[in-house]
Amino acid sequence: MQELAGKVVVITGASSGFGRGAAMKFAGAGANVVAASRRKRVLKELERQCKDLEGRIVVVETDVSQQKDVEKLCSKALSEFGRIDIWINNAGVGTVGHFEEVPLQEHEQVIRTNLLGTVYGSYFALREFRQRGKGILINMSSFAGKIGSPYLSSYSASKFGVRGLDMALRQELEQNDEVGIHVCTVMPASFDTPFFEHSGSHLGKEVQPIPPVYDPQKVINTIFELAQDPRDEVAVGTMGKVGSAQYRLAPKLTEKIMGKNTHRSQMKAASARNSSGSVFEPMSSGTDVYGGWRESNGVAKTAAKVLGIAAPAALAVVLLARKRWQDDRELSRVA
């Protein structure tokens, strides 16, 4: 907590979900938070909610799919506080449907927001970090950015892109001995945020999270920890951790299970009108950290049960530990 007092933290997508929770947690730790979102009114509510906390919050209306908006966000942070210590690219949108039935413009906007928005934020953040020789960049990928998910094609593509971007940036920093700058990738599974309420839908169904659905505080705490002890990649949620391990052991089986569970989850949902959700324009609803999915849908199942991997899980862990040991030996030989 003391490490974060006075730090300058930029957070995009701060009007709800992980971003809102992280903004409150950092401000409570005495950090100076620059909170960005398309919803200025909701940001002002966040500012009022945090007025008695240790840290200061400055709100900036920002559409991360627009390069000029992200550049202005960076300039605002620098004009207010003189530096940026931590930048969190959290803003994201999604749309659900058969690939060719989702309007192409919607696919494009998902990519602009999730991937290009992260590219823009990373660009301006790293430019500042390199001038100072230090800084922490935290980018939000997803479990769907490691294992593709049906009906979420452009969302998965964008999150795979974020993960690839981060890998490339870490290698670049390492090769140039820029040890004071860190790039962290967070890969959440399904969490109880308004994301699903905000998602576009073209299946004639309400968008549903893929169970199990976890408390978003787990991701908020992970972001908070990475700001003090950065790591390269962190999967959050047991399903994400175990699923990632199984994918390395049995990729085809894992993809089949992912497809089956996503299909079942979406097709069992209640009927609803097709909508673009918040892909193009922000919605007035869903302004909390939580989305209410865990309470209303009763989807708190164990990851092993949902994935159908209770037996292979332990074996996967053992084999992966052995493979990592072998990889480490190989790397030591190369070095």
Active-site residue list? 155
CA distance 84 to 47: 19
Nearest residue to 141 via CA among 123, 120, 115 = 115
3-class DSSP state of 149:
coil
CA distance 84 to 74: 8
Are 257 and 309 in contact, with CB atoms under 8 Å apart? yes
182 forms beta bridges with: 136
271 forms beta bridges with: 205
CA distance 256 to 259: 5
Q: Which run of H or of E encompasses 58?
A: strand 57-61
- The greatest distance separating any two alpha carbons of the chain, rounded to the nearest whole angstrom, comes to 58
Are 142 and 163 in contact, with CB atoms under 8 Å apart? no
For tokens 């073209």, name the residue. 202
26, two tokens: 């950092």
Are 201 and 96 in contact, with CB atoms under 8 Å apart? yes
CA distance 7 to 1: 11
Half-sphere exposure of 99 (CA within 13 A, CB side): 8
CA distance 219 to 331: 31
Strand 57-61 versus strand 32-37 pairing type:
parallel
